[in-house]
Structure 1
Amino acid sequence: MYHIKQKPEDFIVEEISKNLSFEKGNYTYFILEKKNWNTREAIKAIASRLRMREKYFNIAGVKDKKAITKQYVSAFKVNSEKLQNLKIKDITITVLGKGKERLKLGQLQGNNFTIRVRNVEKEPEKINFIENYYDEQRFGGKNKILGRALVKKEFRKACWALRLKWEERDYIGALRKLGKDILRFYVNSYQSYLFNRAAEEYLKTKYQKYSKISYSQGIFIFSNEQTKNEKIPIFGFLTEIKNKKLKEIYEKIMKEDKIKKEDFIIKQIPELSSEGGERNLFVDVKDLKIEKENEKTFLVSFSLPPGSYATIVIKKIFTFC
């Protein structure tokens, strides 16, 4: 079985920025290069050194810990000189300039990846696209279980799972202390799980031939037969499905999970309510290069749109093909 991420240098990610507008403003834009830091912890360390609150820093995407990554960050009313001169182990900051707008999640063209794959057992083949699944990182630990508990208003269950302390049955108060971003991530994780299940079942009806690869939440369906690209719902309280087959699939999934779309209205914690959205069934793998370093090691580089998973590309190349 192949291996990745044995060293941070084996997994390199660089954001492809949308054009930043530099002008007089309260936001400072900078490139954060980090190794062995997850994004949130790196921002926390920077904010602490500058004696600022984390909420004044905004990112376009979250990057892995066991990797070398470059990403764009905006900071509100920060001293640019102090920021540039910060010394934190395995973190490098490059100030770019100022502007009037903060960065928002998803505000990038995509990501460039360079990944070293070790212990490869057979010669890999190039691919042009991937099925746009969410991968394991989205479901680490109890993320999906916690997300479903929040959607089902099982707040006590969520507190128990997180080992939180509460007073006088104030489960919501205990959960709120985690912050809305973390709680929203749990809900999004559950929505991602529902998307993956729907995509899997739908692709079975589209493909003539396919292969199955197991993962912690079920099965990935892979094929080289790219059919017409479609939008698959990310389920929420405003979701309306016109495609008859997709509607049947989602109705079956929701029945099995005992979930209704109205459940995504969370009145007790309104900021967690989700109207839903859409996600492409397929995405193109651009600029794919596969270099053989030795008999069992390959260096793979490519680019993907924001929100798509490089590890799905690696799974498809080195397991399916």
Structure 2
Amino acid sequence: MLRSFSYLTDHAGFCGTIKNSPSDFVVTEIEVPEHLFRDTRAESPQKTGEEPLEQSSPCLQPPKKLRTEPPGRCAEGRGGAPSPSERGPSREGGDCFPPPNNKQREDEPELKSGLEEAGILDSLLGEPLSELLYKFAGDLKDAWDLENDADAGTREFSLGPVLDKKNRADLHSAVRQKFPFLVTVTKGNEMVVKGNADYRELCQLVTEKETSDFFKFLDAKLENSTFSFEPDGDKEHRKKENLETLEAIGFLAAELGVLPSDFSYTGIKDKKAITYQPMVVKKVTPERLKEIGSKMEKKGMRIHNIHSTCQHLKLGQLKGNHFDIVVRDLKHHSHDSSADLKERISEAMENVETKGFVNYYGPQRFGQGQNVQTDQIGLALLNEKMVKAVKLFFTPEDTDDPVNNAKRYFLQTEDAKGALVMLPEFKVREKMLLRALNRYGVNHEGCTKGWLNIPHSMRIFYVHAYCSKIWNEAASYRLKIYGSKVVEGDLVFSEENDENASLNDKVHVVTAPDESANKYSINQVVLPMVGHSIKYPSNKVGQWYHERLSKDELQMCKFRVSPLQLNIPGCYRPILKNVQNLSYFLEGSEKGIQTEDNHLNESKVSLHVSFDLDPSCYATVCLREIMKCDF
């Protein structure tokens, strides 16, 4: 994504690899001073496996009006806990699990007995078809147990057309109570039975009896009831890597019985790192968070420093991030004939510490290495091509795993309900979208409602990715044609204006006399993130913006997508940023940084570097400038 983009500095740099393991890339958020939002620190820092992506308020922004949206389906008046029917995987693969404690209250109805369900099945299906269903269920379980049947996951059994709506509902319930490892899918009036992938996956972690009881519990929809699993001493079950922030929140929300939108945080993190960040969650007590601590460690997260707070966090509400990074496999660039690698490293560090780096959005902002990148989805949403955006969203990677198999199945069949069953429960966004598509259809209206079914912050994430891509291209173009000189028509941010002035009044267009007098430095130059309330440079860069948007059919775009309640005013981002508190050392034997026959013995040495960056600055981008190496 940055391969052809401009650099700021002109040193030679060096090669190396990063993120060889999560511990090679450790990120710690530098919190805002406590008194700015609370008399103690922010809520429950969370450890996941990630590096910062862009914060949604990273740059200079005009003030926003408060946005009001109707609460989610389990937002208010429910004590923070959705009913089992809204969260169970047997109900279209829901993404919430109930809180622990399976003690049943005396006034609650008992779950239906297997004998009673068998009688219902016989009466609804007739004995011959009921016997065939029993045989299908038994054969499927045998195939699962033996794990030697390649098509076990795709087996289906048709119950035929069931025209009466009440009979369909009764049949759905009876099948799932008698065979909790099956799910029922309605295709038109036909009912089809297949294996429940979520059930099979859970069987890998807990006993068969617990899994069966749990899925029966979910389908029973008993008011105010809870369920708990037995303690798990298997260390293998506690391993969970490659979590991004939104997936981590999905796990926490599921365990706490709240919505993902009840969480707030100051930044989104990537997968391939160890990160520490504060989070705040509504409708949950510190005691409840402490209760789930051991369960979250099974998911690869650690919750600590838990206490109450009086308000939510906001994206960008942090002082910055501290990075501790190890660069391995050190060597010269192929075009560099220098024999002194230590000199190359020293020169690079001094140059970037003095001059800074181009403030690009990092490649992970766009879904690094993915077949479809997030900016492509954002462009489709801006053009209001809702079906195209959904198809892009579900484009699978070239791997054979449950998530990508579910995406592949959906694109081939448009069977949203079937794809729901195949998806793991932590894929929150995918499941939210599929539920709406199952209800409304895979057409323009259905896809619009599908996008509305995921939280606003997730919807706008994709549009921000597109805006970020345009900003990156604009920054590279600006440096290529004008370099580090501030020229007429540039936009600069000045703190000299009245504090009460609007943001656009604080952004000044450089005049010819300003340029002649060298009134401004390159560190004051900002570029607009596209939107409806910003102004563009009045030089060649401004012309470039208009031509670039026209190329994507956005020349008339108002940057408001009313059907999705998206409003993109735009903002301004400094073209350069500085690194703070930079330090480094080389670890390994001295001979390891010498060359032998023009080849570096890189196995003996690694570079340890630490530094602080402002919010929304990317460590990978800073390293790119230091090393002159794309990742």
Contact 2:523–2:575 (8 Å) recurs in 1: no
How many residues are treated as equivalent by the alignment? 302
Q: Which runs of 5+ in 2 are unaligned?
A: 1-14, 50-240, 333-340, 395-409, 415-436, 486-520, 593-601
Quote how far apart the aligned CAs of 1:76 are: 1.7
Structure 2 CA distance, aligned partners of 1:301 and 1:64?
18
Structure 1 match to 2:316: 106
Instruction: Map residues 1-321 of structure 1 onto 2, 5 A cutoff.
Output: 1-21=15-35, 22-23=38-39, 29-35=43-49, 36=241, 37-85=243-291, 86-87=293-294, 88-89=296-297, 90-122=300-332, 123=341, 124=345, 125-126=348-349, 127-128=352-353, 129-140=356-367, 141-163=372-394, 165=414, 166=437, 167=441, 169=443, 170=445, 171-207=447-483, 227-260=522-555, 262-270=557-565, 272-294=566-588, 295=592, 296=602, 297-319=606-628
Q: Which has the higher strand share?
A: 1
One-letter amino acid matched to 2:550:
K
RMSD, aligned α-carbons: 2.4
- 1:5-33 alpha-carbon deviations (Å, 9 max, x no partner): 11110100000000224459xx9712112
One-letter amino acid matched to 2:453:
K
Structure 1 CA distance, aligned partners of 2:610 and 2:42?
30
Off by >3 Å, runs of 4+ in structure 1: 21-24, 163-166
Contact 1:58–1:103 (8 Å) recurs in 2: yes
Quote how far apart the aligned CAs of 1:286 are: 0.6
One-letter amino acid matched to 1:245:
K
When residues 43 and 208 of structure 1 are mapped into structure 2, their CA distance, relative to the original with a 3 A threshold, is: closer
Q: Which has the higher helix share?
A: 2
Structure 1 CA distance, aligned partners of 2:275 and 2:584?
20
Structure 2 CA distance, aligned partners of 1:273 and 1:199?
24
Query: Does the residue aligned with 2:533 lie in a helix, a strand or coil?
Result: coil
Structure ID, larger Rg: 2
Contact 1:30–1:73 (8 Å) recurs in 2: yes
Query: Does the residue aligned with 2:585 lie in a helix, a strand or coil?
Result: strand
Contact 1:152–1:259 (8 Å) recurs in 2: yes
Structure 2 CA distance, aligned partners of 1:133 and 1:57?
28
Structure 2 CA distance, aligned partners of 1:281 and 1:15?
23
- 1:162-221 alpha-carbon deviations (Å, 9 max, x no partner): 346542722211322343322211100100011011111101123279xxxxxxxxxxxx
Contact 2:523–2:577 (8 Å) recurs in 1: no
Which deviates more from structure 2 when the two are superposed, residues 293-302 or residues 131-140?
293-302
Taking structure 1 as the reference length, what is the TM-score of the superposition? 0.86
Quote how far apart the aligned CAs of 1:143 are: 0.8
Which deviates more from structure 2 when the two are superposed, residues 310-319 or residues 292-301?
292-301
Contact 1:116–1:299 (8 Å) recurs in 2: yes
- 1:283-318 alpha-carbon deviations (Å, 9 max, x no partner): 111111121113441111101011111000111111
Contact 2:286–2:306 (8 Å) recurs in 1: no
Structure 1 CA distance, aligned partners of 2:330 and 2:282?
46
Structure 2 CA distance, aligned partners of 1:261 and 1:92?
47
One-letter amino acid matched to 2:619:
A
Residue identity (%): 28
